[in-house]
Amino acid sequence: MSIAARLMAVLTALTTVISGGGELRKPTTPEPPAAEEWLSPTELCEEIVIGWNLGNTLDATGGSGLSSETSWGNPKAAEELILAVKEAGFNAVRIPTTWYNHCSGSEYTIDSEWLDRVQEVVDYAYDNDLYVILNAHHENFNFPSDENYPKAKKALTCIWKQVAERFADYGERLIFEGQNEPRKVGTNVEWNGGDYEGRKNVNKLNADFVATVRATGGNNEKRCLMVPTYAAAFYALDGFELPDDDRLIVSIHAYSPYNFAMNTGNWATDNFDPNDSNSTSELVTMADTLYDRFVSKGVGVIIGECGATNKGNAAQRLNWAKYFPACFGKKGIPVFLWDNHAFGTGGEKFGLINRYSLTWEYPDYIKALVNSAKKA
């Protein structure tokens, strides 16, 4: 509108009021833009095609200071590694991180150099448009017993307050995961679903984590947060309680079916047949149950770790790779492959990409995994 036209409009309005024909209104202020709409937990999970774990790196606990990153024999994480993962078809990265050995004092103050390094690695993925899960991994404080709970709560809340404040301005593609496989380490209930005391205290620590992050404000008020069952186990669902929050994702680990994917002892098998219920029933039951209990009710679920250890059975691993991501993906549950950079056969050989040459050791296996996830 020209200046002359604006003046004419004002004069017309004044004339109307003076003549009693109307009411002079103050100029209206434009409505502020609507607040950014973030995806719901289940919508966010749908956006994740398939994820990859930077295992045995920032979660390594040897050495001291920044040297801990390479203390388990893996090279420092580099942006080129993350770009290679993205190029292969992964659109999400989980960054396992251990904090306790980089803390000092009664308030568990995180060493600034370590926090800077973790942020640098997060940025390798986040700045390249990947979804990122940042967690607390091999912590030594969260033994879930009544006696240890006060100490565990103190450490967990102090650490997550600092981490959440550092990343408060990051958008929804950054997810926080409060604990990794919290369990009674070294006891006879470590891996069998736990006991009442253990499950109860995992629930309490999950609630403490959520409350701590939310209290830091900024984007942390609406960020999706991941909470695990006892040991992040599917068979620990009994007694599992979600914190009172509407933006949660349940964290489950699934090296499944166990006798094929992980077990190398009694009852182990090298065979996976996608047309045989003996191979698939464990996966189908898990996917259906997680969907019915959580996804259908608006709670996200992510398989934060999975994989099939290399037993020298390439064709059978390929069968598993073609089946596993789709089985869960069809239920809106993305999967994250565990990569500990350990190659060969026997034991936990979950290495996928050679971090020195940036080449995939089993390219057909990776293509099958990614294609299966995309078809879900």
Which CATH number does the domain housing residue 201 bear? 3.20.20.80
Q: Are 190 and 231 in contact (CB under 8 A)?
A: yes
Q: Is the pLDDT of residue 247 over 70?
A: yes
Q: Does 22 fall in a domain?
A: no
Strands (E), the chain: 51-53, 92-95, 103-104, 109-110, 131-135, 174-177, 225-228, 248-254, 300-306, 335-337, 353-354, 359-360
Collect contacts of 150-153 with beta carbons under 8 A, ≥24 apart.
Answer: 152/201, 152/205, 153/204, 153/205, 153/208
Q: Are 211 and 242 in contact (CB under 8 A)?
A: no
Q: Does 129 fall in a domain?
A: yes
Q: Does 123 fall in a domain?
A: yes
Strands (E), 162-266: 174-177, 225-228, 248-254
Tally of domains in the chain:
1
Two tokens, residue 216: 């830091």
Domain limits at 326? 39-375
Q: Does 301 fall in a domain?
A: yes
φ and ψ at 159, to 5 degrees? -65, -50
Q: Considering only 9-23, 116-130, 225-239, which range has the smallest mean pLDDT? A: 9-23
Q: Does 3 fall in a domain?
A: no
pTM over 0.85: yes
Q: How far apart are CA 302 and CA 228, in angstroms?
A: 10
Q: Are 232 and 181 in contact (CB under 8 A)?
A: yes
Per-residue pLDDT at 138: 98
Per-residue pLDDT at 22: 38
Q: Does 291 fall in a domain?
A: yes
pLDDT digits (tens, 9 = 90+) for 191-223: 999 999 999 999 999 999 999 999 999 999 999
Q: How far is CA 204 from CA 86, 145, 175, 217, 324, in A?
A: 36, 11, 20, 21, 32
Per-residue pLDDT at 19: 39
Q: Is the pLDDT of residue 235 over 50?
A: yes
Number of residues written out for the chain: 376
Q: Does 23 fall in a domain?
A: no
Q: Are 361 and 326 in contact (CB under 8 A)?
A: no
Q: Does 335 fall in a domain?
A: yes
The residues assigned a catalytic role are 181, 305
